Amino acid sequence: MAYTLKTQLSDDSVEVLIESIEDSQKKEDSKVLLEIFTRLSWEPAKMWWKNIVGFWNYHYIYASWNSWDWMRTGFSPRKTWLSLYIMPWYQFWNMPELMSKLWKYKHWKSCLNIKILSDIDLKVLEEIITLWLKDMAKRYPE
């Protein structure tokens, strides 16, 4: 039996999600992230599940031969964090100088978690997103 992800592409509106954010700082930061990810990915934002803003889909086949569509990158304005989906982390741990320039963040699996955007260097974030998208384009050409 094939595994089905709960995080699926949705017809929900990215703008409605962002406007529904009660915390004014998180709402403004989400607007900035929307602009950055849209500009760097050259793709329109799409909603994934209830609260993930994703960019540039690809078809992934897992080792078990399950497969699904997923976003190449994106973000989610969660209650505690702004979670940025920039994977794989093993690649970035091989670039400690770049990661040290980012400033305040935490990571968990494939997420870079940030409290507020003023805690990080946005130019470094843009560099990381660009490197990730280039890596994904090599791994999953269209």
- Give pLDDT tens digits for 48-84: 877 889 887 766 776 776 766 777 789 999 988 999 8
- Give pLDDT tens digits for 94-138: 677 777 777 787 766 678 889 999 999 999 999 988 988 888 888
Asked if the peptide bond before residue 77 counts as cis, ω within 30 degrees of 0, the response is no
Element (H, E) at 102: helix 96-102
Q: CA-CA distance, 47 to 11, in Å (whole number)? A: 7
Structure confidence at residue 112 (pLDDT):
85
Query: Is 2's pLDDT higher than 60?
Result: no
Q: Domains of the chain: which residue ranges?
A: 28-139
Q: Which residues pair with residue 88 across a beta bridge?
A: none
List, in sequence order, every beta strand (DSSP E) within 6-108. Answer: 9-10, 46-48, 52-61, 67-77, 82-85, 106-108
